[in-house]
A and B are shown apart, each in its own frame.
Chain A
Amino acid sequence: MSIDNFTIKLILFSDMSAIFIMIGASLLLAIGFLIAFIWSVKNNQYEDDYTPSVRILFDNTSLDEEKINTLKNTEITRTKNK
């Protein structure tokens, strides 16, 4: 038996249709990724490839603001209730 028949016999289906579906599906998925890649390049996401690496390490300060605001509110209600 030649090699390619051997590889095909690993597939449980008796005919070849499975491999066509597999290849077709994987190609479609890959094309999807290709489109995403092209879109991200055209969207200038790779124009600056250094600054995002620094930006990601900053703390999110908006949480601190919320904390300060809630603190302020409780103080105001406390003084109001006096």
Chain B
Amino acid sequence: MKIIEANQVKTSCYHCGEIVYNREFAIDSKSFCCRGCQTVYEIINKNDLCSYYTIENSPGINQKHSVRRGKFDFLDDQQIIKKIIHFQDDLHQHVIFYLPQMHCSSCIWILEQLNKIDAGIIKSQVNFIKKEVTVIYDYHKTSLKKVAESLTIIGYEPHISLNDIAAGKIKTYDTSQIVKLGISGFCFGNIMMLSFPDYFSFGNVEDAALKYWFSYLNLILALPVFFYSASDFFISGIKGIRQKNLNIDAPIALAILITFSRSIYEILSDTGSGYLDSMSGIVFFMLIGRYFQNKTYQTISFDRDFKSYFPLGVSIVNHDGFEKQIAVSDVKVGDRIRIHNDEIIPVDAILFLGKATVDYSFVTGESLPIEKTIGEIIYAGGRQTSGAIELEVVKEVSQSYLTQLWNNAAFDEKKEKPLRSFIHQISQYFTYILFSIAILSAIYWMINDASKVWNVVTAVLIVACPCALLLSATFTNGNMIRILNKYQLYVKNAFVIEQLSDIDTIVFDKTGTITEQSKAEIIYEGNDLTIDQCQLIRSLASQSNHPLSKSITSYLPFNKNLICKNYQELKGYGTIATIHQHQVKMGSAEFVLKRVNSFQSSGSKIYVSIDNEFIGQFTIKNSYRRGLEDVVNSLKSHFDLKILSGDNAAEEPHLKQLFGKNTELLFNQKPEDKLNYIKKLQLNNRKVMMIGDGLNDAGALKQSDVGIAISDDTNNFSPACDAVLAGEKFNILNDLIGYCKKEKTIIYSSFILSILYNFIGLFYAIQGDLKPVIAAILMPLSSISIVLLTTGLSSLYELKLKK
């Protein structure tokens, strides 16, 4: 569609950067796209914070949709305040607000200058990765509500959800991993330095005092490594033995124990200098690997549940018609609540007053909003799109139909399948082989020279530690996770990568997953429109709440809406009105053109005429994600594909053509239906991957072997998933799965490399000639070569993703 602009130069809004169509909003020789943006600029300017605009260009967030006054009234309630704030003393309160709009350095700057906007705020500090701001304020001078309002008036409305008052939400940052790492590194370095005399003299240090002092110093340094840094291996190993589940930590713990014991014996009995350098070194390297692997991407919080989707505050109406804001969790059955335009309905309730058009796309997958009549029950989770309505509450928020899904057995924490990575199985084989070698060599030496038996057996167990296997796995996983993050597939943990490589069936949700919700595709065909014609059409379209009219309204550029006289809306036909002496008609072909259109295409057509002259037509259809056809074709050959949709079967012909005859397509699926379908597939020994986006997919995502939530806005996604994929990277899904399949290859290769080093070490160990210097050389050599190989291979395979 081309808009003919007569001699107009495009300016962008000084605040948010969007194109300015209306010259009305301007001040200080700067233009703005709407009243909201101008207001925010005035506030920022008044408080002398204009550096906001110099740090980044157009840093503001578009203020087209203003925030309702009184939205934060529920923050006056003392009970709610107590639950939200993190800390309080006689003077101050601390609160952490989540601001999803944060996106640049200007945001950081202005959010740390909040004390200039509200004098009661002492200090505010931003954590950009988590998009949080910690505000410390004096609650005698200001209040929690005023802080929230101050943030809102500069364009950063805090996202306060039901999750914020849920119990036990404060997660302390786990520092012990890093401390253990630091201590083992410190001790490793110093023990190795103190062992230099021993290395250079090949075990025969001549100065007795030197040997004495350095050995005991080594022993002291090794104590924190053994008892503190290596403690996780012991705990995990013992747990594994108790549950008869030999995992990889058990043989590692055994190796560390034997190394330490033999070293103590040698030092105390003055028969040698021990292998403390190897022991602390291997602990250090393994801890690095584990830290690298467990470093999760902090902006994505995988522990969100349905509560973070629901708002915290809701308006309750009393008998006199006065609105009061209370917390959603305090709403009782029988209460009368008022839901404003664009708000989420938090509880199951009956419509009492107003016109309800509810958008359930995130919840059930239905793409078109549903109109409800008075007396009908409206289920929680939908978004009201046609103005304010009043409802009578039928169920409390924890009892609503939607949240019942979370009571399903699939979400039972206790029954979670134990994570059995393939490396645990390999380590079992490795351990058996190791013990066999130890026993065989023990037998050999018992026959030939009994004094060497203990020497040899302990040396074998020290050298052939499966530590290399753990190193291979952790560094491979850590690097692969980092690379996957680069391509915007964020996995919950390393085990997901392995699961991804095993799947054979992929189940897709439709609405929001393979279709893009925000961009219903609108195509205009007809005469080029002038700005005035756009204004006429938009003014007419914005009168109607029909979803198709709304699409047209949002498609056309924003401008002042003109007054419509004699407005008429004829259901099934279209709308008509007189605007500025022009008769504007919008609707079906029959209505506008007075002819029957026999064309049956996927999508709705809206025809437009001005003064009975046909201008053009808008075609609105489900917009499928870019590259969908290519992705489906590449996946079809490797996996079984299925589609489960909560929507009706209107798109069935198109989907059948796209996915092929062999793909099962099921429509009108409720959340439980989806979950049960996946369960059925798993009972047939299929490994299922589910891709979905909404709350209705949560059960299926949890039940499947890998649940991927696809999201166009990573702040807002479905809980219960194992990974999040950004919508724009959907077209490389096949390549991403292919990349994950390489994980096992890389781990096997580096493990084989480490076995070569083991052979060399074993060669000396079996002969009873394992000098500490040999172990001390082999250990870092093998560790570093493993790190290099895994990093190199995983980056090599990444080249396939890059294209």
Contacts and interface: CB of A to CB of B under 8 A. Distances in A.
Interface of A: 2-5, 7-8, 16, 19-20, 23, 27, 30, 34, 37-38, 41-42, 44, 46-48, 50-51, 54-55, 57-59, 61
Given A30-B190, A34-B183, A42-B175, A16 B209 contact: yes
Contact of B179 (A38, A44, A47, A55): A38
Nearest to A34: B186
A28 B206 CA distance: 26
A34 B183 CA distance: 7
B206 A41 contact: no
B201 A41 contact: no
Given A47-B173, A51-B129, A16 B200 contact: no
Nearest to B55: A58
Contacts of A61: 51, 113
Contact of A3 (B55, B130, B179, B201): B201
Given A4-B205, A50-B128, A41 B200 contact: no
Contact of A23 (B129, B178, B194, B204): B194
Which of A5, A57, A58 is the most central at the interface, judged by chain B CB atoms within 10 Å of its CB? A58
B439 interface: no
A3 B112 CA distance: 61
A5 B720 CA distance: 66
A51 B127 contact: yes
Contacts of B126: 51
A44 B201 contact: no
27 contacts: A2-B201, A3-B200, A3-B201, A4-B197, A4-B210, A8-B207, A16-B207, A16-B209, A16-B210, A19-B210, A23-B194, A27-B190, A34-B182, A34-B183, A37-B182, A38-B182, A41-B178, A48-B127, A48-B128, A48-B130, A51-B108, A51-B129, A54-B128, A55-B108, A58-B109, A61-B51, A61-B113
B186 A4 contact: no
B601 to A, nearest CB: 49
Contacts of B175: 41-42, 44
A13 B55 CA distance: 62
Interface of B: 51, 55, 105, 108-109, 112-113, 126-130, 173, 175, 178-179, 182-183, 186, 190, 194, 197, 200-201, 204-207, 209-210, 213, 217
A50 B131 CA distance: 11
A51 B128 contact: yes
A40 to B, nearest CB: 10
B121 to A, nearest CB: 16
A63 to B, nearest CB: 13
Contacts, number: 67
A44 B128 contact: no
Given A48-B127, A55-B108, 15 more contacts: A4-B197, A4-B205, A4-B206, A16-B207, A16-B210, A37-B182, A38-B179, A38-B183, A41-B179, A44-B173, A46-B178, A48-B129, A51-B108, A51-B129, A54-B108
Contacts of A48: 127-130
Contacts of A2: 201, 204, 206
B108 A4 contact: no
Contacts of A47: 127, 173
A5 B51 contact: no
Contacts of A50: 128-129
Nearest to A38: B179
Contacts of A30: 186, 190
Nearest to A59: B51
B200 A4 contact: yes
A61 B129 CA distance: 25
B129 A54 contact: no
A56 B474 CA distance: 34
A41 B182 contact: yes
A51 B130 CA distance: 10
A9 B758 CA distance: 38
A4 B204 CA distance: 9
Contacts of A58: 55, 109
Contacts of B200: 3-4, 7
Nearest to A31: B186
Top 9 A-B pairs, shortest CB-CB distance: A51-B128, A48-B127, A4-B201, A34-B186, A41-B175, A47-B173, A50-B129, A41-B178, A3-B200
A38 B128 CA distance: 24
A32 to B, nearest CB: 11
A61 B52 CA distance: 12
A17 B128 CA distance: 53
B206 A5 contact: yes
A9 to B, nearest CB: 12
Contacts of B201: 2-4
Nearest to A50: B129
A11 to B, nearest CB: 12
Nearest to B127: A48
Nearest to B54: A59
A58 B126 CA distance: 14
Given A34-B182, A48-B129, A51-B129, A57 B210 contact: no
Contacts of B183: 34, 38
Contacts of A37: 182
A58 B128 CA distance: 15
A56 to B, nearest CB: 11
A25 B130 CA distance: 42
A55 B179 CA distance: 26
A3 B197 CA distance: 9
A23 to B, nearest CB: 7
